[in-house]
Amino acid sequence: MGDHNEKKPTNSGSASYSTALKKPALYISDLCQSHQVVLLGDQIGVTQHLDFLAALIPSLYESGVTHLAWEFTNSRCQGVLDQLLNAPEWDQNACSEIFADLLGVGFSYSEYANVLQAVWHFNKSLTSGVPFRVIALGLPSYVEDPDLLDGRSAAELQLRNWWMGGHYRDMTAFHMINVLTNEVLRHGQRVIVYANADQTTTKFIQWIDGVATTTLGNLLHRWMGEGVQRVLFHGAISEGALNKRVEDLIATSPEKPDNFGIKLDASTLGNVAVNELTGSCDGVETSFRLQDVANGYLYLANVKDWKPCLLSENFLNSSNYVSIEARYRALDPRESHYSMKELETVRREGQAGLKENWPSISQDDEVPVASKKGFFRRRD
């Protein structure tokens, strides 16, 4: 699999590594030491990935990273979020309220809340130094503020189609970079950004329905160049054949690693073809490989072994029911109010459907033959 002797990267943005393959936490920590921004792209609701992120906080701090930014809490909650993460005692109700302030019935998965609690635990353990912060990048919309609809439903104003379309996606990117700049970058601080993979593209410009999209990663790359790095969790790209090729190469390699982080242009893994993304890199429309669309890759488990996040128990209560019900009724309008039982059913149906949005791995693809020298060898 290559040389296992670990060496720290140099200070340059194009630092080379003495080995292509590292343990996931070490790979991310080393990358953060030499880049101001690391984008970590993922699917929604993968337990193993969120558990990894929660456990990563101390290593990030040791590497000089004092901020985790993500899109899973609304930016208008930043003050409340800062208070939560530095409170004398953990406040589960306050945590639930932060996640309730999202579209529909709230983003109420316990593993995302566990990340915040891990940050709180870490801050409580500090005896000196600045606390670790989580930066909320989520963009509030009319659906999150039903009072702004002036008695009309989101459906009547066609806001659902607007929210699902490119307008919201592109506006979200500009909102995110504005928040990230004001909260972190203008102060010269380091940050790891955890987001849906579609928001983390850098030099790759994705086209959807023939129209070029704009992502947070695109905007950062135009500004910072190689100072921003994109790392993908395995499975973050929703292309079943691609993910199967990667899994087959891992299975047939002599090393058969349980998990790893890897610099894509330092390994043959970077040459794996990406066939189902439409777009261009640096203005050139061409065929793509993994190393064309990302700088690094994290593998924790095969897609079939992913575990969906669990719902936070007792999330809906008398204190948040009115606001959550109003937001959901704006999205799915009807004259009568939704009962708490109906909203709980919506929550559970959403959790049950997480897997439907994950990549489907086909068994019909040809299995590649691994090199006897190891698939993850460094390419000099």
Which range among 26-30, 158-162, 265-269, 285-289 shows the weakest confidence by mean pLDDT?
Answer: 158-162
The pLDDT of residue 9 is above 70 = no
pLDDT tens readout for residues 277-322: 988 887 777 789 999 999 999 999 999 999 999 999 989 999 889 9
Angle, vertex CA 232, rays to CA 243 and CA 54, nearest 5: 115
What's the one-letter identity of residue 100?
A
Q: What's the CA gap between 296 and 265, in Å, rounded?
A: 8
More confident of the two residues 194 and 142? 194
Residue in the structure block whose two tokens are 């990030």 = 60
Highest-scoring range by mean pLDDT, 16-30, 79-93, 100-114: 79-93
More confident of the two residues 13 and 323? 323
Which range among 95-99, 200-204, 364-368 shows the weakest confidence by mean pLDDT?
Answer: 364-368
The pLDDT of residue 73 is above 90 = yes
Structure tokens at 196: 């849906």
What confidence category does residue 330 fall into, taking pLDDT thresholds of 50, 70 and 90?
Answer: confident
DSSP 8-state class, residue 130: P
Contact 93, 314 (CB under 8 A): no
The pLDDT of residue 80 is above 80 = yes
Residue 277, CA atoms < 13 Å, CB-side half-sphere = 27
The pLDDT of residue 3 is above 50 = no
Q: Show Cβ contacts of residue 165 under 8 Å, excluding neighbours closer than 6 positions.
A: none
On average, the pLDDT of the chain sits at 86
Q: What's the CA gap between 88 and 364, in Å, rounded?
A: 55
What's the one-letter identity of residue 106?
G
The pLDDT of residue 367 is above 70 = no
Q: What's the CA gap between 27 and 35, in Å, rounded?
A: 12
Structure tokens at 344: 């709980």
Which range among 144-158, 162-176, 273-287 shows the weakest confidence by mean pLDDT?
Answer: 144-158
pLDDT score at 331 = 77
Interval 123-136 mean pLDDT? 97
The pLDDT of residue 365 is above 70 = no
pLDDT score at 176 = 96
What's the one-letter identity of residue 303?
V
Which range among 95-104, 178-187, 371-380 shows the weakest confidence by mean pLDDT?
Answer: 371-380
pLDDT score at 72 = 95
Separation in Å, CA 84 to CA 89, 118, 207, 290: 9, 12, 39, 38
